[in-house]
Chain A
Amino acid sequence: MNAGALRAFIVKEFRHILRDRQTLTILLLMPLVQVVLFGFALRSDVRDVRLAVVDPTPDYASTALRARFAATDRFRVVATLPTTALLEPLFRRGEADAALVFEPDFGARLGRSEPARLLLAVDASDPNTGTTVQNYARAVIAAQETEWATARGGVRIATDTRMRFNPTLESVNLFVPGLIALVLTLVSAMMTAISLSREKERGTMEVLLVSPLRPVHIIIGKVLPYLALAFANVVTALLAAWAVFQVPFRGSVALLLAASLVYSMVSLAIGVFVAARTPSQRGAMLAAMLGTLLPSTLLSGMIFPIASMPAPLQVLSSIVPARWFIVVARGIMLKGVGVPQLWQELAVLSFMTLAFMALAVRSFKPRLG
Chain B
Amino acid sequence: MSAISARGLTKRFGRFTAVDQITFDVAAGEVFGFLGANGAGKTTAMKMLVGLLEPTEGEGHVGGFDVRGQRDSIRRNIGYMSQRFSLYGDLTVRENIQLYATIYGLSTAQIVERSTGLLGTLGLSSHANELVGRLPLGWKQKLAFSVALVHQPKIVFLDEPTGGVDPITRRQFWEMIYAAATQGTTVFVTTHYMDEAEYCDRISIMVDGRIAALGTPGELKERFGARSVDDVFVRLARPAAIPASA
Which residues of A approach B to under 8 Å, CB–CB? 2, 4-5, 7-9, 12, 15-16, 19-20, 202-204, 206-213, 366-369
Q: From the candidates B54, B99, B102, name the one contacting A367 in the complex (CB within 8 A).
A: B54
A12 proximity list for chain B (CB < 8 A): 88, 91, 95, 99
Asked whether B52 lies within 8 Å of A203 as measured between CB atoms, the reply is no
Segment 26-71 of B: residues with Cβ below 8 Å from A: 44, 47, 50-54, 71
Q: Is B219's beta carbon under 8 Å from chain A? A: no
Q: How far is the CA of A160 from the CA of B52 in the complex (A)?
A: 69
> Is there contact, CB below 8 Å, between A206 and B88?
no
- The answer to whether A209 and B99 touch (CB under 8 A), given A12-B88, A15-B91, A203-B82, is no
A148, B54: Cα distance in complex, Å? 84
Query: Which of A7, A210, A368 has its CB near the most chain B CB atoms (within 10 A)?
Result: A210
> Which one of A7, A203, A367 has the highest number of Cβ atoms from chain B below 10 Å of its Cβ?
A203
Sorted nearest first, the 8 A-B pairs with minimum C-beta distance are A203-B84, A8-B102, A210-B80, A369-B53, A207-B86, A206-B82, A5-B103, A203-B82
Find A366's partner among B13, B44, B52, B87 (CB 8 Å cutoff): B52
B102 and A4 within 8 A (CB): yes
A301 to B223, alpha carbons, bound, how many Å? 75
Bound-state Cα–Cα, A210 to B13, Å: 21
CB of B83 within 8 A of chain A? yes
* Given known A203-B85, A204-B86, A209-B52, contact A369–B102 (CB-CB < 8 A): no
A12 to B90, CA, bound (A): 10
The interface residues of chain A lying within 8 Å CB-to-CB of B84 are 202-203, 206
Contacts of A366 in B (CB 8 A): 51-52, 71
Say yes or no: B53 contacts A368, CB within 8 Å.
yes
Judge if B139 is at the interface, Cβ distance under 8 Å. Answer: no
Residue numbers in A under 8 Å from B72 (CB-CB): 212
Are B104 and A206 neighbours in the complex by a CB distance under 8 Å?
Answer: no
A212 x B75 contact (CB < 8 A): yes
Chain A: minimal CB distance from B57 (Å): 15
Q: Which listed residue, B47, B71, B105, touches A5 by the CB 8 Å rule?
A: B105
A211 touches B100 (CB 8 A): yes
> Distance (Å) between the CB of B135 and the closest chain A CB?
16
Q: Smallest CB–CB gap between A196 and chain B, Å?
A: 14
Within 8 Å CB of B87, what residues of A?
204
B74's nearest neighbour on chain A, judged by CB, is: A210
A67 to chain B, nearest CB (A): 65
- The reply to whether B104 and A20 form a contact with Cβ atoms under 8 Å apart is no
Query: How close is B101's CB to chain A, nearest CB, in angstroms?
Result: 9
A-B contacts, 25 of them at CB < 8 A, read A5-B104, A8-B103, A202-B84, A203-B82, A203-B86, A206-B52, A206-B80, A206-B82, A206-B84, A207-B80, A207-B82, A207-B100, A207-B148, A210-B50, A210-B75, A211-B80, A212-B75, A212-B105, A366-B71, A367-B53, A367-B54, A368-B47, A368-B52, A368-B53, A369-B44
A204 and B54 contacting across the interface, CB-CB below 8 Å: no
Is B98 on the interface with A (CB-CB < 8 A)? yes
Residues on A with C-beta less than 8 A from B86 are 202-204, 206-207
The distance in angstroms between the C-alpha atoms of A367 and B52, with both chains bound, is: 5
Residues in A whose Cβ lies below 8 Å from that of B100:
207, 211
Residues of the B chain whose Cβ atoms lie less than 8 Å from the Cβ of A202: 84-86
Chain B 178-220 interface 0/1 with A at a Cβ cutoff of 8 Å (1 = within):
0000000000000000000000000000000000000000000
Tell me the complex Cα distance, A207–B47, Å. Answer: 11
